[in-house]
Chains A and B, each alone.
Chain A
Amino acid sequence: MFFSKSDNKDNPTAYLQEFICLQALIFMAALTDKPTEAYQAALEACAKNLHQPELASAEISEQCILGSLQNITKPLLFLKKLCQEALEPDGVLNDAEVLFLGRVARTLHIDLERVEQICDWLIDEKILAERAHLIFESEEDDEHEFSN
């Protein structure tokens, strides 16, 4: 899941975090035309894991999500997850995503500069991956020979 490795059936607080996170990701997916079938399927699988299969096709309002954020215990990790998904696959945030992430950050009392730091860090990861591809392009199929 998003914050832990188990589905947190027996931990209501953790379950709530996962639920709110999934709601936010489903809301964000609707803001763009980016989501692929695979991503949509992944969201449906997460909803099923949380025993809320109808969530994947529910209409969720921004106000509802912002209102539930008071239950988030790890706001930075939560925001990191949202930024990570929003920046897939090409590191671009559209205007709707920027507004939503900014409002989530403000609701969680996180400085916008911190959001920018998180986004920059995630973009740097993509840059590193692209640089690795450029350096090791000719041997990428044989990566397993020296992998960790």
Chain B
Amino acid sequence: MSFQTEIEILQNVLSEKNAEDALTVLEVVFAPRNRTVHFQNYETNIDTARVELADYLEKSAAQKTVQNEKNFSKIIQSSFKNLPSEPVYFQEYYCWLYNAAEIIKNMNDGYISQADFSTRQNFLTETYAREKEILVCLGLYDASGQANTSTKSAALIKKLIKLREMRTAVELVTLDEPEREVSKENYEKALPYYKYFKGLAKLPFPFDLNQEQKEEDLGINHFKDSDVQPDFKFKDALQNKVLDIIQNPSAYLKPDFDPNKYKNIIYISSKEFSDKVKDLALRRQTFCVKYALLEKPEKLLDNLKGEN
């Protein structure tokens, strides 16, 4: 399990687009609109580059999900009938729906096996990683200021809301410990959520239940999250995040990484999960990011100074 920072996500996209020598993360995030930049061996407007990077980021991430999905043929059979001809951004959504429903089913069928539990944990981890990528994408669309991104942003925001709903549902109705029995009470609590995701899978994106009804019946509604409201500035959020990381590289160790998730990954019982163990768990999977943050920002700033 690893947690890429926003800077790493952008560095990877620039690298994959062969743009990292000419365009820096700082330029992508902070350059004023209409600035001329070098992008893939030609000069262009930074806003155009931002849209291209965001499109690529979202498409490649969605493609990766779909390509890695072993049950894609089952998903096609059990989902909205036009799924095979939908763009990959929406195909990914149906993969998530299928997996969320399967996890809820398998984690409530009487016994939680190691395999069931690992699948649950992997799914939850993937949702956090994808959420971060989607927010970076939205930040780039917002920063570009281009009118043609408003439809893409709106669809992406809806996808983000659904992703969060699936994660919340899995966390609400599945237990966070493997190799244990599950009661009938748990099964009955999980059933409406399973039916909800199975039902959504038959509908075109982004059809949904009435929000108030969903909140009342299922207790989940990420439509009210502050960062999906019409007045939320994704560009400002991305810039703030990147500045936070550059100014305090060690800060990435905090809230994004939940040491309680580590407890579940290596199956430590609560009695052995002391403050010292939690503190040690926080230190895992931090080396690469910490090194990148300590080494790269100097190079990023040097690039900027060189240009001036």
A-side residues, CB < 8 A to B, are: 91-93, 95, 98-99, 101-102, 112-113, 115-116, 119-120, 123-124, 126-127, 130-131, 134-135
- Contacts A98-B287, A116-B287 known; A127 to B281 CB distance under 8 Å? yes
Give the dominant DSSP class at B's interface.
Answer: helix
Separation in Å of the A63 CB from the closest CB of chain B? 16
Contact yes or no, A115 B294, CB < 8 A: no
Q: How far is the CA of A123 from the CA of B283 in the complex (A)?
A: 8
Looking at the assembled complex, report how far the CB atom of A26 sits from the nearest CB atom of chain B, in whole angstroms. Answer: 22
* Given contacts A95-B249, A95-B250, A99-B295, A115 and B276 within 8 Å (CB-CB): no
Is B268 interfacial (CB 8 A cutoff)? yes
Which residue of A91, A112, A123, A135 contacts B291 across the interface (Cβ within 8 Å)?
Answer: A112
Interface residues of B in 245-284 (CB under 8 A from A): 249-250, 266, 268, 271-272, 274, 276-277, 279-281, 283-284
Minimum-distance CB pairs A-B, first 10: A102-B291, A116-B287, A131-B272, A120-B284, A112-B288, A91-B280, A98-B290, A116-B288, A127-B280, A119-B287
* B240, CB-defined interface residue at 8 Å: no
A-B contact pairs, 15 of them (CB 8 A): A91-B279, A92-B283, A93-B290, A99-B291, A99-B294, A102-B291, A112-B288, A119-B284, A123-B283, A124-B284, A127-B277, A130-B274, A130-B276, A134-B271, A135-B272
Q: Which of A102, A116, A130, A134 contacts B285 (CB 8 A)?
A: A116
Q: How far is the CB of A134 from chain B (nearest CB, A)?
A: 5
A95 to chain B: closest CB distance in Å? Answer: 6
How long is the Cα–Cα vector from A101 to B284 in the complex, in angstroms? Answer: 16
Residues of A contacting B288 in the complex (Cβ-Cβ under 8 angstroms): 112-113, 115-116
A98 to B292, CA, bound (A): 10
Chain B residues within 8 Å of A113, by CB: 288
* Interface membership of chain B positions 12-31, coded 1 if the CB is closer than 8 angstroms to chain A and 0 otherwise: 00000000000000000000
